[in-house]
Structure 1
Amino acid sequence: MIKLGRYSFFFKIMTGLVVVLSLLGTMNIIQTRIVMNKLFAEQQEKRGISITNILASRAANLILVQNYYDLHELIKDTTVNNDDVRYAFVVSKDGELLAHSFEGGFPKELLTANTPDNSAKYHIAELSTEEGVVWDIAVPVFEGRLGIAHVGMSDASLRTILQGTTRQLLLETLAVVVLGIALMLFYARQLTKPIRELVRVTSAITKGDFTQRARIETKDEFGKLATTFNSMTDYLDELLTELRNKEEARTHLLQKVIVAQEEERKRIARELHDETGQTLTSLMMGLKYLANNCPGNSQFCHLEDMRMAVKRTLDEIHRLSVELRPSILDDMGLVAALEKYIGDYRDNLQVDVDLHVSWQRNERLSHEIEVTVYRIVQEALTNAAKYAEAQNISVLVTCTMQELTVIIEDDGVGFLVGAIARETVAGHKLGLYGMYERATLAGGTLTIESTPDIGTTIYLRIPLPEVIV
Structure 2
Amino acid sequence: MRRIILLIKQRLVDLSVKTKIIGMVAGLVVLMGGASVFFTTNLLSANLHEDLERRAVSVANDLSGRSEPLLMTQDIYQMNQQIEETLEHHPDVEYIFILDESGETVIDTFGPTSNVSEELLRANGPEAAGEEMTASVASFESENGPIHDVAAPIADGDEGVVRVGMNETMINETMYSVLLTIIMVTIGTGLLGLLIAYALMRILYRDVSQLMTVSQAVADGDYSANAQVTSKDEMGRLSQSFNYMIERLNVKKQENEEFTRRLQLKNRELTVLHDLSIGVSDSDAYHKYLYRAAQMIQTELKMDQAEISVDISGEPIRASAKTEADPGETAATWSESIVRDGEEIGYVTVAGSGDPDGEGRMFLRSFVRQLAVISENVELWNEVRYREELRLKLLNKVITAQEEERKRIARELHDETSQSITSLIVGLSLLELSALNQHHMEKIREMKRNAQRTLDEVHYISWSLRPSVLDDHGLVPAIRRYAEEFANKYGVEVDVHVIGLEDRRLSGDVEVTVYRVIQEALTNVARHAKAEEVSILLRNQHDKLDLIIEDDGKGFDTAALPATEWNKDHLGMKGMQERIESIGGRLVVESGEGHGTTLYVKGIETGRYQDERIYITGR
Query: TM-score by structure 1 length?
Result: 0.61
1:204 pairs, out of 252, 261, 275, with 275
SS at match of 1:413: coil
Q: Residues 392-450 of structure 1, C-alpha deviation per residue, up to 9 Å, x if partnerless?
A: 21222223343222221111111011223368444541111111112221212221111
Preserved CA contact (<8 Å) 1:361 1:401: no
1:195 pairs, out of 266, 269, 272, with 266
Structure 2 partner of 1:245: 386
CA distance in 2, matches of 1:453, 1:264: 38
Of 362-371 and 458-467, deviating more is: 458-467
Preserved CA contact (<8 Å) 1:415 1:451: yes
Greater Rg, structure 1 or structure 2?
Answer: 2
SS at match of 1:429: helix
AA of the residue aligned to 2:263:
T
Preserved CA contact (<8 Å) 2:591 2:597: yes
CA distance in 1, matches of 2:564, 2:546: 26
Structure 2 partner of 1:177: 249
Q: Residues 54-95 of structure 1, C-alpha deviation per residue, up to 9 Å, x if partnerless?
A: xxxxxxxxxxxxxxxxxxxxxxxxxxxxxxxxxxxxxxxxxx
Structure 1 partner of 2:399: 258
Q: CA deviation at 1:360?
A: 5.1
Alignment of 1:369-408 (within 5 A): 369-408=510-549
SS at match of 1:363: coil
1:323 pairs, out of 461, 464, 468, with 464
Structure 1 partner of 2:445: 304
Q: CA deviation at 1:357?
A: 2.3
Q: CA deviation at 1:179?
A: 6.7
SS at match of 2:233: helix
Structure 2 partner of 1:337: 478
CA distance in 1, matches of 2:404, 2:496: 28
2:602 pairs, out of 426, 448, 461, with 461
Instruction: Call closer, same or farther: CA 1:274–1:251 in 2, change over 3 Å.
Output: same
Alignment of 1:93-172 (within 5 A): 161-171=233-243
Unaligned runs of 5+ in 2: 1-184, 187-199, 201-228, 298-349, 351-355, 613-619
CA distance in 1, matches of 2:436, 2:459: 33
Alignment of 1:262-301 (within 5 A): 262-297=403-438, 299-300=440-441
SS at match of 1:280: helix
Preserved CA contact (<8 Å) 1:277 1:314: yes
Q: Size of the alignment, in residue pairs? A: 316
SS at match of 2:488: helix
Of 285-294 and 166-175, deviating more is: 166-175
SS at match of 2:562: helix
AA of the residue aligned to 1:177:
L
CA distance in 2, matches of 1:401, 1:422: 28
Q: CA deviation at 1:387?
A: 0.9
CA distance in 1, matches of 2:248, 2:565: 68
Q: CA deviation at 1:332?
A: 0.7
Preserved CA contact (<8 Å) 1:294 1:301: no
Among the aligned pairs, what percent are the same residue?
Answer: 36
CA distance in 1, matches of 2:466, 2:575: 17
CA distance in 2, matches of 1:184, 1:357: 63
CA distance in 2, matches of 1:183, 1:240: 42
2:570 pairs, out of 429, 433, 437, with 429
AA of the residue aligned to 2:518:
V
Preserved CA contact (<8 Å) 1:360 1:401: no
Preserved CA contact (<8 Å) 2:230 2:236: no
Instruction: Call closer, same or farther: CA 1:423–1:304 in 2, change over 3 Å.
Output: farther
Instruction: Call closer, same or farther: CA 1:391–1:301 in 2, change over 3 Å.
Output: closer
CA distance in 1, matches of 2:565, 2:276: 31
Of 341-350 and 217-226, deviating more is: 217-226
CA distance in 2, matches of 1:401, 1:183: 55
Q: CA deviation at 1:301?
A: 7.2
SS at match of 1:302: helix
SS at match of 1:409: strand
AA of the residue aligned to 1:350:
G
Of 412-421 and 357-366, deviating more is: 357-366
Instruction: Call closer, same or farther: CA 1:399–1:188 in 2, change over 3 Å.
Output: same
1:365 pairs, out of 506, 516, 520, with 506
CA distance in 2, matches of 1:260, 1:205: 41
Q: CA deviation at 1:224?
A: 2.8
CA distance in 1, matches of 2:238, 2:280: 58
Unaligned runs of 5+ in 1: 1-102, 105-130, 132-156
Preserved CA contact (<8 Å) 1:442 1:462: no
Please state if 1:414 is matched with 2:555.
yes
CA distance in 1, matches of 2:557, 2:379: 38
Of 448-457 and 297-306, deviating more is: 297-306
Instruction: Call closer, same or farther: CA 1:326–1:299 in 2, change over 3 Å.
Output: same
Q: Residues 285-331 of structure 1, C-alpha deviation per residue, up to 9 Å, x if partnerless?
A: 12212222334557347222212211111110111111111111111
AA of the residue aligned to 2:272:
V
Q: CA deviation at 1:182?
A: 5.0
Alignment of 1:50-61 (within 5 A): none
Instruction: Call closer, same or farther: CA 1:223–1:462 in 2, change over 3 Å.
Output: closer
RMSD over equivalenced CA pairs, Å: 3.1
Instruction: Call closer, same or farther: CA 1:424–1:250 in 2, change over 3 Å.
Output: same
Query: TM-score by structure 2 length?
Result: 0.47
CA distance in 1, matches of 2:549, 2:509: 20
Structure 2 partner of 1:223: 364
Preserved CA contact (<8 Å) 2:507 2:606: no
Q: Residues 364-384 of structure 1, C-alpha deviation per residue, up to 9 Å, x if partnerless?
A: 111111111111111111111
Instruction: Call closer, same or farther: CA 1:304–1:345 in 2, change over 3 Å.
Output: same
Q: Residues 252-296 of structure 1, C-alpha deviation per residue, up to 9 Å, x if partnerless?
A: 111111111111111111111111111111111122122223345
Preserved CA contact (<8 Å) 2:536 2:549: yes
SS at match of 2:561: helix
Preserved CA contact (<8 Å) 1:439 1:445: yes
CA distance in 2, matches of 1:345, 1:234: 54
CA distance in 1, matches of 2:502, 2:481: 21
